[in-house]
Structures are given as C-alpha cells and as structure tokens.
Structure 1
C-alpha cells in the first residue's frame, strides 16, 4: 500500500484524483493510499471467501460486498473522513447504503495481504477498524496460507479469536456457525 501523495488533500480533491486514477485509492484523514493490483492467488482466495460468505448469508439480513466497494467509515464520535476499500465487507445495517458507497461501519471486514501492503493492513487498518468498532477483522495472508480473526472484546479492543495456517477450519465470532477449510481456501 503506497501513499499516493505526501500532502493532505480534501475529500473533494480525493474524489477528483480518483476519477482519473487507474488504481484503487483509499482516503484516511487527508492522505490518499494506493492499493496494489491483486495477485492471482489473492483473487482466488477472495473469490472463495466471497462465495462461502454469500452462501452462508443467503436468506439472512447481512450482505457480502467484495472489492471494489467504498466504505466511508462513519462514527459521530470520531472526526475526519475515512474511505476504505476492503477486500470483503459484511454489512448488516442497511441504513448506510447510498448509490455510491456504504456510510457506516461494517460488521466484518476481510483484508487479503499483498507483499507491498502488509503494514497498512496489519497496523493502520487494524487500528482504524478497531477504533470504528468493526466487530470482526480478518487478515488473510496468502503468502503464508494463514488466516487471523480479530474480534472486539468487552473493552472494544481487538483480541485474536482464531488463527490457522495451512490446515483446519477458521471460524467467525460474529457469524456464528460460519467456517471455511483452509485447504479449500488456499488450494492452487
């Protein structure tokens, strides 16, 4: 995840920059971040997760939204504008939908790491999602075949709920009963 510009820009300028940009751009407190193009393995993992979440949520009130879909994080107690493009978002509160994006806080967010964006997803976004109280944050590392699930505890801090590498089933605290086999998720 590369910072697109070093100087602060307004949200209006961000939208103008995005119109002419070929890559996905995120906006966090005046800074514009460029997402790397996803790898083949990244896209396979994303597709499998999206399908599994979609099948699990069929007939339920929550929906799955794959990238690219803008999430404007909104909490009246937090200042600033943050527009992120998670790899996968699970949204249960329908009140935040607009024609262009979702404004609010998803229930679950998945970020799939790329070699160039690890610190952004592991540090910046983890803290961002925790401060906005995203109930569950999945970090998927296709280079190590690892999935780490963080869930908010009673103190509104993330704690590791589940972690698996290579084998086993990863589960969700927020989506009770959801599970996915890592061999299936990471197979070539």
Structure 2
C-alpha cells in the first residue's frame, strides 16, 4: 500500500482528490493511501470467498459487499474519519448505507494480502478494525495459502480464533455455520 501523497490532507481534500481520480484511495489518519490493482490470483481468491460467504448469507439479513466499496468507519469515541476499501465486508446493520458508501462498522471484514500491502493489512488495518469494533477480521495470505480469523474478545481486543494453512475449513466465530474450505480457495 503506497501513500498517494506524502503530506496529510483534510477529509474534504480527500473527497476532492477522489472525485478527480480513478485510483482506489483510502483515507487513514489524514493520509491518502493508494491500493494497487488486484492481481489475477487475488481476484480468483476473492471470487471464491465471495461465493462461499455469499451462499452462507443467502436468506439472512446480512449483506456481502466487495471492493471497490467505501467504508467510512465511525466509532463512539472516534473523531477522525477513516475511509477504507476492504476486499470483502459483511454488513448486518443497514442504517449506515448511503448512495456512495457505508458509514459505520461492518461486522466482518476480509483482506487478501498482496506482496505490496502486507504490513498495511497486518498492522495498520488490523489495529484500525479492532479499535473501531469490527467483530471479526479475516486475513487471507496467498503467499502462505493461509487464512487467519481474528475475533474481538470481551476486552475488545483481537484474538486469533482460527487459522488454516493449505487444507481444512476455516470457520467464523461470529457467524455460526460459516465455514470455508481453504484448499478450494487457493486452488
């Protein structure tokens, strides 16, 4: 994940930049970050995860949204606007939808690592999602054929709930019955 500009900008300036750019841009702590175009492997993994999670959600009240879709994170004590573009978001609270984006906190977010964005997703976004109360965060690592599931504990800290490498079913703590066969995801 590269910074679009090296200097901090206001959220208003971020929205002006977005209007004149075709890039996938996120806004975190006053800085604008540019997401790289997803690779072929990234797109294949994303599609398989969307199918599996989407099938599970069929007939349920929660919805799946995939990138590019803006999430404007808000929290009870957070003053700063944060706008992220997760690879996959599961949203159950419908009150935050606008025509342009979702304003609120998704229940589950999935990020698929790329060689260029590992530290952004593993450190910056993990802490951001935890601090804003995303109940579950999945990190998909195509370089290791692994999926790690983090879930908020009673102290609102992420704990590793599940992890699979190469084979097996990774499961959600939040959504009882949501299981994804990772050998299908990576083949």
Q: For the superposition of Structure 1 and Structure 2, which TM-score range results when normalised by the shorter chain?
A: over 0.9
* Per-residue deviation, 1:96: 0.5
Partner of 2:66: 66
What is the correspondence of 1:6-17 to structure 2 with a 5 Å cutoff?
Answer: 6-17=6-17
2:100 equivalent in structure 1? 100
Q: Aligned-pair distance for 1:144?
A: 1.1
1:79-103 CA-partner distances (Å, limit 9, x unpaired): 2010000000000000000111000
Q: What residue is the counterpart of 1:136 in the other structure?
A: 136
Deviation at 1:76, TM superposition (A): 2.5
Local SS of the residue matching 2:110? strand
1:39-188 alignment to 2 at 5 Å?
Answer: 39-187=39-187
SS in 2 for 1:14: helix
Runs of at least 5 residues in structure 1 that lack an aligned partner in the other structure: none
Secondary structure of the residue that 1:33 maps to in structure 2? strand
- Find the aligned partners of 2:98 and 2:22 in 1 and give their Cα distance: 23
Q: Secondary structure at the match of 1:173?
A: coil
How many matched pairs? 187
CA distance, structure 1, for counterparts of residue 129 and residue 117 of structure 2:
16
Q: Equivalents in 2 of 1:17, 1:98: separation in Å?
A: 20
In structure 1, the partner of 2:21 is 21
SS of residue in 1 equivalent to 2:49: helix
Deviation at 1:22, TM superposition (A): 2.9
> How high is the TM-score relative to the length of structure 1?
0.97
